[in-house]
Each structure stands twice: as C-alpha cells, then as structure tokens.
Chains A and B, each alone.
Chain A
Amino acid sequence: MANRGYFCLVLHAHLPFVRHPEHEKFLEENWLFEAITETYLPLLQTLGRWQLEGLRVPLTLTLTPTLCAMLRDPLLQDRYTRHLEALVELAGKEILRTQWEPSFRELSELYRRRLLELRDLYMSFGRDVVGAFGRLQDLDQIEILTSAATHAILPLLAEHPPSLRGQILVARDEYRRCFGRDPRGIWLPECAYVEAVEPVLREAGLHWFVVDSHGLLNAHPRPRYGLFAPLLTPNGLAVFGRDRDSAKQVWSRQEGYPGDPRYRDFYRDIGFDLDLDYVRSYLAAPDQRGFTGFKYFRITGPTGGKEPYQRALAMRAAEEHAGQFLAARLAQIQHLAGLFDRPPLVVSAYDAELFGHWWYEGPEFLDFFVRKIHCEQQVFALTTPEEYLRQQPTHQVAKPSASSWGEEGYWRVWLNEKNHWIYPHLRVAQERMTELARRFTAPEPPIERALKQAARELLLAQASDWPFILRTGTSPDYARRRVTDHLLRFTSLYEQLIQDRLDLPWLAEVESRDNLFSDVDYGYWR
C-alpha cells in the first residue's frame, strides 16, 4: 500500500561558542558537556541502534557551526573527558551513599551504567561526535543541515548584505570541512527569515530551509496546501513550514508530554540538594551550586513534594506518549490526504536538546515512536526534506512571509529593551569589517591573520545567543561580557589594522581563545 503522507522530523542542535582556556573550569562550558551527555551521545546511540537493526529512519539534524567547532576542539574534548570521568566517579560514590535508600540506589546504579556506556561510545569514535554524525549521513541514515556561522538572527543583519554573506558562506565552508560535502539545506537560526537572505542562500548552493508555520501560511500568494507541502520561492529555493499541532504536543509548556508527572524532574538535582562539600568538586563552578545530572525525583505534580523517579514508570509514559503522538499523526495525515491531491508532508521541528537534556526520556520517546511507525501503521513514512523534494519536485511558487519561531513569531526576543544596545555597535563593526575587507585585498600573513580574527570576533558578537540570554536573564552578565569582549577585540583589531600597528603577541592570544573557523574567508565581507 502506498503511503498516504510523509512525516519529517527535524532536530536542531545548537550551542553558542563557549571556550575559555584562560580558566581551569568555566561554568558556561558545562552547557556543552551537559548536552553531549544528555542529548548528543544518546542520540548517536539511538541512531546507531536503528542502523544496526536495519531500521531506516531518515532524520534531519542541524549541527550548527559553533557546535561543530566546540565538539571538534581538542581542549574541550579533554575537558569533557575529564567531566565524564568525574561523573563516573560521582556515580560510584552515589551508589555507596544511597545504600539505605533503595529507590535512589537503583537510580545511581542506572546512572553509572549509563555513563559507562556513553564513555565507551565517546571513546570508541575517538571523541569525534561530529565525525560520528557525519558517518551516519554518509550511510544515508540522517541528513545534516548547516545553519548560520554563529547562529545570528539573519533578518536583523539584512541591512548589511556582507554580514549575511559572512554568516552563510562561512557556515557552508565549515560544513565542507566537517562533512566533506556541500550542505543541501539550512536551518535558519530561530527559523528567522526575510527575503533578503535568499540570494546568499543561493550563492552558498543551498536548496531549502524551514520557516515557522506563519511564515508559510502568510506567504504571497496564499499557499494552497497550507503547511503541508513546501513552496518554491521565486528565487528557486524550497521552503518547508513547521507543523504546529505536532510541535504543541511535544513542546507546549502547558500540555506538552515532557510535563507528565512520571517523567524525571529537570531541576531537582543533587548539585542543589546535597551538602556542598560533597558535590563541590563535581560542579562546573566550585562555589556555585549547579547541575550534576544526578536527579532522583520525578515531576510528580504541581506542588513542592516530589516522589522518587521510577524508570519503569517513565518508560511506560514514553511509550504511551509515542503511541498518542503516532495516533495524532495518523489522524492528521489521513485527514489531510483526503483533502489534497498529493501526499501531505508534516514537518515537525524541535531543538535537539529538548530530547534528553530538558526531557530526559525524549530519546526513548523517539525510539518508541520510530518503532511504532515501522510496526504499527502503513499510512505514512518518514522522510527528509531533501528526499521529499527528490520524489515530489513540483510545488506552488510563492514568497514566504518574514517570521521566526521565537516568542510572538518575529524578532522580539532578540530586539527589545534588554538587548537593543547591541545592534548599534554591531552595525558600526559590520561596516568596518567591510571597510577592512575592501582595503586589504592581498595582505601579508600577519595582516591576513588579523583580518581573519576580526571576522571571527564580528561573527561571535553577532550570535543570537547573547541577546537571547539577556532577554531571558539566565546568565545576563556572561552574555553582556561576551558581546562586549568580541566587539572590543574587533575594534582593537580594526584600529591596529588601520593604523598599521599590529600587536602580534596580543593577536596570538586572541587567536588562541576565539579559535573557531580557522580558514574563515574575510573576503566575504567585501
């Protein structure tokens, strides 16, 4: 029986570039370490299992250039290895400590087994997480997307086309370096789209991208198939719309699966619960309580009292939710198929870190869902946007609407009272970068190094993460300092280049710190 429709799962993995060799330990580096342990390695484990079992699961995954740079960085690899070893050690201590609390003891043993498995997996591919995902792409198991170089909100750079070129073309180059091929699709950071990005996407050889649902629904002319078929833009790019129903089921704060009382509570962690002297050496910052990943309670309910986490109960919940999710997709796709003259496509996109990090049972939910798709229905098949386009190349032509998947659907999260001060500085820096690129066309090696570093500093200052954090208030001092530091370093490089007075020892120090994109082409800013 032919499939009546298609389902495309898109996971977007991103972290800002956080690397501080000047400190022995750095709190915000833990963002990466937590994501590796809780999301990237479990995802690789799950994908590897599907591969071994012969389950074809076309999955679309973004690995942003900053995330790839960190995952491939030897210093961060060393630090993560130490972090993982420390967690294994802590697990051993926890098994002893919970001797008289059987439910916690069982969990600490589970954590230890899990950590040892992940450590074996990590070491088995030489700590090269990016390479491991790349091999799955080589085997046609997943499709890896690129994103903007430092996850900048592209519509907020649209008035300066060289900045758009810098973000997209540097990302394309990094993708080639990481995966040995050209990227086909791009995840626009935060799904933030304006038409001005399209010429650069074309220049980069990209074929398709995803917008949030209203980006497609408000397209001009009106899209006949709503969200459930891609559009082709007049510039020749394919654009897919994020489905709201499936997103809401998983992601909604009020109704989403991760809030089920049987799932593990994210916030209740021994890093906050236990004696500071005991957990201190396992914390990212020794004098500041934080997460260790050892969590013994389930969400339980809306009150303060928490009950011990029961793994079996949580697994039943994950299976139930996977079943509900499948039933909802079956109903959705069957209904759509009855209306359309072509198989409908449902594109369901999430932050990858939702699965495993925020929602501990997320990888198991995915596993149950995929197995149910294969075993319990024949209505729809999994696909990737690329695969779908290959099979269904004819689509309506329309211009998508400017939009993002952020709060309220546009750029409010990244441009508001708390973070607007960034943009005037960026604007000046961007124009200065273009001035430098035009001025130095065939520079000597030291000048070329300074130009490349200026490009890196500008890219880092443009990251969407800093205004996001300033808005949410999670680490505002750090975000403010990062923007300021990168802009100051850029300005210093600009002045040194203009005045022909390079401070080479200082340049070397900056290069050693902000060391991503080693081959960045500053000519993109001309």
Chain B
Amino acid sequence: MKRNKARSGTRTKAAAPSAPSSPTTKRQVPKRQSSHPAQKPAVRIPPLLLEGDEPTSDAGPVQASPGLAPPATALPESYGTGRLFLAVRDPHCLYAHWDLSLEQQRDYNALSADRHLIVRLHRDQPATKPLHEIHVHPESRYWFVHVERAGASYAAELGYYSAQGQWHSLACSDPVTTPPDSPSEDKTLHFARIGLEILELRPPALASGDQEGGSGQSPARGSQVGMPVAEELALPPESPTRRFEPAARITALIVPDRVGWIPPLGLGAPSLPPITTLPSLLAPGPEAQPPDLQTGRTEPSATPIPFGTPAQEEMLAQLLAQVRAQPLGISSPTVSSPPGGLPPAPQEFWLAVNADLIIYGATDAKAVLTLAGQPVELRPDGTFSCRFSLPDGNFGLDVVAISAEGLVCQAALQFSRQTDYQEAAPAAAQEPALRLPGG
C-alpha cells in the first residue's frame, strides 16, 4: 500500500488486543503491512481490564492518613509534560512511559490514521532506523517492550502516522542500555592494586552533637549484658572523611594491558599480567605478585595444580559454568522484605474444635492465689480470671488462696473432655498447608 510504503522502519503490532501486559504475554509480532487497524472496528476493552494496581484518580481507595489532609487526596493521572521515558527492566525488557494528559492523548489519537499512538524502538539513538513499531492501545500510557539483544543500547520514540502516511514524532527518550545476559567474550586480564592506606582501620569516633536518637535514658556506653564497656577503648576525635580523587584521572590511567585469558601452553608456572595501581587509591606502587592473604608475604601461594595450565583452566571453566547454570536471583520471595505476612489459606473444607476453660472468681485483694500451683495476679478488687486449654482427658485443678494472715481457702476442680470426630477431620486443622519459612 502506498501509505504504508511511506512509513519508515519495520512495523510491528501487538499480538493480542488486550490491556498492556508483560512481554511474556505480549510479544511484538511482525505483521503484514496490509492490515491496517484504522480500517477495523475498534476493539472495546472493558475498563476493568485496563486497571492495574495503580490508584484511581479520584479519592477512591487511596485516602490520606487521618488528621493530616494535604490539599490533594489523589495523584494526578498524568502531568502532561509530553515526555517519553524509557527504563531497562532486564536484558530483554524495557519499560516505556509517556506523560500525556487525557486531552493530549485524545487529540493525538484523533490526528493518527491508526487512532492510536505508536512507539518506535531504535538501536542507540532515535535518529537511527527503527527496529520496531509498536501500536499501542488508545488509552495506554506505557508499554513493556521486549527486545532481543541483551547488552545493547536502545531509544524509544513516540508518534503517529497522519492520514497522509507522514510520521509525526511527539517525543524521544534518552537511550538506555540493557545488561548483558552472558559472560563477556573479552578475556583480557588486567590487575590493579587498591591502596593500602585507604583501607587502614580508622579508629572509631563518638558521634558528636547527636541528640535525636535514643530514649533519653541511655546508660553509659557498653553497660549492656555481654558487651564490653566502650569507655575502655581509647576514642580519638572523629576522623576526617576521605574522598576519592577525581574520576577523570582514574579512568585515564587504567587502560588495561591486553593479555590473553589463557596463558600460553607450556608455561606451567603462575603467570600474572601486569599490575597497575589504581591512582585514586594512592597505592605506593605495583608488586610483582599479590601478597598472600594470611601471611602478607608476596610469594604466590603453593597450589597443587599449577595455575594457568590447560587442566586448571578447564576445571575453572567447568566450575564457573556450574555456577552460571543456577537460576538468577534468590528463590525466596522474602528478599529484603518486611516480615509478617499471613498464613496460607485453607485449601479444603475442614473443622477445628478446641476447648478452653475459663476459671474465674474472687478472694481478698490482699491474698495470694495459686492455680495449679502457679501464682495468679489478682485484680485490685480481688477478682481473677484464668484460661486453661482443655484437651481430651481427665484433669484436676487446685485453687488455693492464702490470706495476709495465713488463712487458707482452697477448691479442687475436676474436668473431663472427650471429642469424637465423625469424619477424618484432624484434631488441629488450622494449618492445612505447609509453607516453608519465606515461602
């Protein structure tokens, strides 16, 4: 079609006419140019499907805390800056967001031949030929964009095609770079040394003039159980802050020497590439060999397998491959999360029947009362109330009150419980599903 030919770049379209979703469910599948969305009846999406977990624009479920009423009670739907924002989510997913007001969006949609906007994805800079064009829903203000190449730079552009097939650019994002998803092929070795003087232990200094924290009743430092007294330490005045040298100097001086990842065959003996001192760290100078950790000596450690031999390299490669084969990230969902949470919901119909006994009464407020030999605190009026779990079986309970004058009053109680579950209901079924800690 003529109009389509006028368009630059490869055009792709979302596969499913649904609300914006993750790239796993919405991949940009290249589509033949002949199908033009403007010629099809618009798909009506129930508003509910367009709702994420974001707050609604009215006061709705997001209320300000009681007693503190800021002038607004809800965040605006947009700020109307007209800007396009691109962020990296992972090596193969970008997040694009465009800040258009409802009116702006409506106006641009009306100008668009497709009745919606298009996000173009470029390698490196918007000036380049677009990799993809993503037709977004008329209401969308964001899209999760799948990208094939990890470790690559991308930029996004927002715009639309006019009825004449002319591309109109509305906004361009800054470029972003996705992380690599595999080890580098560059096996260059370059060593540097961190300056020892910056790693010297600095003696501790008491914080000065800090009255904010604490309860105002802190005892002398170090008086807690099991903690040596801090005053035993010599505490010099606060040490000065150390800062690094300007970055420009550093990057200029650490251009790595190109040496091979695997030393030449037959060397056998340890062979380290040149060592450079990182200038920011002010080390006194390069060493021939890194010092031994334990002794501080500069001789290399004795190794059963000579470092740098093919056998050693192969073992090292296998080891690293094993490490890399494991899944990324932590499998537990509790990463740095607040503690708490709720127990898992029961999965089947169940019944729990428990019984507690409440023993209550009163005596002279000055008396000493024991239940089952345990002292029980009386209320100011001499009353008491205690609860006992009553499992199946026969039980006795002695209640003894001794007055201030030594007079004794006592009572002996007997209880019995028998529970017959009619079906296979467990005796204590509140927890039907096992969940591992953190799981």
B336 engages A421 (CB within 8 Å) = no
Nearest first, the 9 closest Cβ-Cβ pairs linking A and B are A48-B226, A72-B213, A409-B328, A126-B218, A421-B54, A125-B224, A410-B90, A304-B432, A267-B343
Q: Which residues of B contact A337 (CB under 8 A)?
A: 301, 303
Query: Given that A131-B218, A411-B90 are contacting pairs, would A393 and B193 also be in contact in the complex, using a CB cutoff of 8 Å?
Result: yes
Q: How far apart sit A470 and B53, CA to CA, in the bound complex (Å)?
A: 8
Q: How far apart sit A95 and B26, CA to CA, in the bound complex (Å)?
A: 58
A412 engages B89 (CB within 8 Å) = yes
A199 engages B247 (CB within 8 Å) = yes
**Is B380 among interface residues, defined by CB-CB distance under 8 A?**
no
* Stretch of A272-280, A323-331, A440-448 with 4 or more beta carbons under 8 angstroms from chain B: A272-280
Q: List 28 A-B contacts (CB under 8 A).
A: A23-B66, A31-B339, A48-B225, A125-B218, A126-B219, A127-B215, A177-B207, A218-B184, A235-B250, A252-B331, A256-B436, A263-B437, A265-B431, A338-B315, A342-B292, A389-B199, A390-B200, A393-B195, A397-B190, A403-B179, A415-B95, A423-B85, A423-B95, A474-B337, A474-B341, A484-B75, A488-B73, A491-B72
Q: A2-B295, A124-B223, A397-B192 are in contact. List 4 more A-B contacts (CB 8 A).
A: A124-B225, A403-B179, A406-B329, A424-B79
**Is A107 among interface residues, defined by CB-CB distance under 8 A?**
no
Which of B206, B223, B330 is close to A405, meaning CB atoms less than 8 Å apart? B330
**Is A336 among interface residues, defined by CB-CB distance under 8 A?**
yes
A315 → B minimal CB distance (Å): 17
* Stretch of B34-42, B105-113, B276-284 with 4 or more beta carbons under 8 angstroms from chain A: B276-284
Q: How far apart sit A304 and B308, CA to CA, in the bound complex (Å)?
A: 55
Query: Given that A181-B202, A221-B184, A221-B188 are contacting pairs, would A472 and B207 also be in contact in the complex, using a CB cutoff of 8 Å?
Result: no
Q: How far apart sit A44 and B332, CA to CA, in the bound complex (Å)?
A: 25
* Stretch of B7-15, B123-131, B360-368, B390-398 with 4 or more beta carbons under 8 angstroms from chain A: B390-398
A304 engages B213 (CB within 8 Å) = no
Q: How far apart sit A506 and B87, CA to CA, in the bound complex (Å)?
A: 36
A139 engages B233 (CB within 8 Å) = yes
Q: What count of chain A residues pass the 8 Å CB interface test? A: 204
A477 engages B66 (CB within 8 Å) = no
Q: Which residues of A contact B95 (CB under 8 A)?
A: 415, 420, 423
Q: How far apart sit A126 and B328, CA to CA, in the bound complex (Å)?
A: 42
Which of A4, A339, A351 is close to B312, meaning CB atoms less than 8 Å apart? A339
A97 → B minimal CB distance (Å): 5
Q: Which residues of B contact A259 (CB under 8 A)?
A: 436-437, 439
B187 engages A221 (CB within 8 Å) = yes
Q: Which residues of B contact A137 (CB under 8 A)?
A: 204
Query: Given that A125-B219, A177-B210, A487-B75 are contacting pairs, would A394 and B293 also be in contact in the complex, using a CB cutoff of 8 Å?
Result: no
B75 engages A488 (CB within 8 Å) = yes
B89 → A minimal CB distance (Å): 5
**Is A316 among interface residues, defined by CB-CB distance under 8 A?**
no
Q: How far apart sit A358 and B438, CA to CA, in the bound complex (Å)?
A: 6
Q: Which residues of B contact A300 (CB under 8 A)?
A: 434
**Is B64 among interface residues, defined by CB-CB distance under 8 A?**
yes
Per-residue B-contact encoding for A209-234, CB less than 8 Å = 1, 0 else: 00011100111111010110000101
Query: Given that A179-B207, A217-B183, A396-B191 are contacting pairs, would A207 and B219 also be in contact in the complex, using a CB cutoff of 8 Å?
Result: no
Q: How far apart sit A74 and B200, CA to CA, in the bound complex (Å)?
A: 35
**Is B44 among interface residues, defined by CB-CB distance under 8 A?**
no
**Is A526 among interface residues, defined by CB-CB distance under 8 A?**
no
Q: Which residues of A contact B196 (CB under 8 A)?
A: 390, 393
B171 → A minimal CB distance (Å): 13
B214 engages A291 (CB within 8 Å) = no
B70 engages A492 (CB within 8 Å) = yes
Query: Given that A20-B65, A267-B343 are contacting pairs, would A45 and B435 also be in contact in the complex, using a CB cutoff of 8 Å?
Result: no
Q: Which residues of B contact A12 (CB under 8 A)?
A: 336
Within 8 A of B (CB), among A182-229: 182, 189-190, 199, 202-203, 205, 207, 212-214, 217-222, 224, 226-227
B401 → A minimal CB distance (Å): 16
A269 engages B331 (CB within 8 Å) = no
A505 → B minimal CB distance (Å): 11
Within 8 A of B (CB), among A452-486: 464-465, 468-470, 472, 474-477, 480-481, 484-485
Q: Which residues of A contact B181 (CB under 8 A)?
A: 218
A31 engages B338 (CB within 8 Å) = yes
Q: Which residues of B contact A101 (CB under 8 A)?
A: 389, 391
A106 → B minimal CB distance (Å): 14
**Is A166 among interface residues, defined by CB-CB distance under 8 A?**
no
Q: Which residues of B contact A502 (CB under 8 A)?
A: none
Per-residue A-contact encoding for B293-309, CB less than 8 Å = 1, 0 else: 11110001101110110
Closest to B275 in A: A394
Query: Given that A207-B199, A236-B278, A259-B436 are contacting pairs, would A214 and B328 also be in contact in the complex, using a CB cutoff of 8 Å?
Result: yes
B337 engages A159 (CB within 8 Å) = no
A132 engages B186 (CB within 8 Å) = no
Q: Which residues of B contact A303 (CB under 8 A)?
A: 434
**Is B335 among interface residues, defined by CB-CB distance under 8 A?**
yes
Q: Which residues of B contact A290 (CB under 8 A)?
A: 340
Which of A51, A220, A393 is close to B186, meaning CB atoms less than 8 Å apart? A220
A392 engages B291 (CB within 8 Å) = yes
B218 engages A128 (CB within 8 Å) = yes
B226 engages A130 (CB within 8 Å) = no
Q: Which residues of B contact A85 (CB under 8 A)?
A: none
A253 engages B53 (CB within 8 Å) = no
**Is A247 among interface residues, defined by CB-CB distance under 8 A?**
yes
A22 engages B75 (CB within 8 Å) = no
Per-residue A-contact encoding for B159-203, CB less than 8 Å = 1, 0 else: 000000000000000101101111111111111111110111110
Closest to B333 in A: A472
Closest to B54 in A: A421
Q: How far apart sit A513 and B397, CA to CA, in the bound complex (Å)?
A: 51
Q: Which residues of A contact B55 (CB under 8 A)?
A: 421, 480, 484
A202 engages B280 (CB within 8 Å) = yes
B380 → A minimal CB distance (Å): 16
Per-residue B-contact encoding for A53-83, CB less than 8 Å = 1, 0 else: 0000000000000001001111001100000
